[in-house]
Amino acid sequence: MTDRHPTDADLRGALVAANHILVREGVLDAFGHVSARTAPDADTFLLSRNLAPGSVTPSDLLVHRLDGESDDPRRPYLERFIHAEIYRRRPDVMAVVHSHSPSVIPFGVSDTPLRPVVHMAGFLAAERTPVYEISEHAGDASDLLITSPELGASLATALGSGAVALMRGHGSVTAGASIMEVVYRAVYTEVNARIQLQALTLGTPRYLSPGEAKAADQSVGAQARRAWDVWCRQVAQERNDTP
């Protein structure tokens, strides 16, 4: 991926790599998904058909509209509305990850907020990562899935202008200005959650101050390409090693 506006083939290649990287890094498993807006200001985005992320290839990526639908007859993901409604509200967002990455879940079901404890995660809200409470929108007997534009809209509202929102008892959503950035953020959200959980077992963590989080986001976040390049090489190597 280059800094010029990517071609369709570039974008599909990067999004396939993102799927595979996020599986390799333990953010996605058989479930969860990653999408990319097709171009700046576009009302369409690429998201795989209903498939485990580790199996996604370029031809599996369907062009979705902001109503969450696609002209392709292949079966879409149930929770495609997460992506559609974030793109609708956030012109700055070019890529979205929805995951069930496990270390993040405890912070969505307890009163301990997810906060930045390491400099790699300065993009997290310094005081409290928002938690989306689905029962306020879907009642107390829902399956916790975001299966309609209305639920997607309420989740996007909970995310606000931030990078990450947690979904109680379910997972999280991460937004970024590029595929590279959203992958970096999703990976380091999981890493930060793991480290914060470890620190909480030792005592009261000292969190990054709001000023530190902002400064770290600007300097470390600008180096996301280093991680992206090595992760792309690793997944390409593993693809070549697969008989």
List residues with catalytic annotation: 79
Question: At 164, is the secondary structure helix, strand, or coil?
Answer: strand
E-strand stretches of the chain: 33-37, 44-48, 61-65, 95-99, 131-132, 164-167, 171-176
Radius of gyration of the chain (CA): 17
Please spell the DSSP secondary structure of 170-182, one letter per residue: TEEEEEESSHHHH
Cβ proximity of 129 and 117 under 8 Å: no
And the tokens for 158? Answer: 């909970």
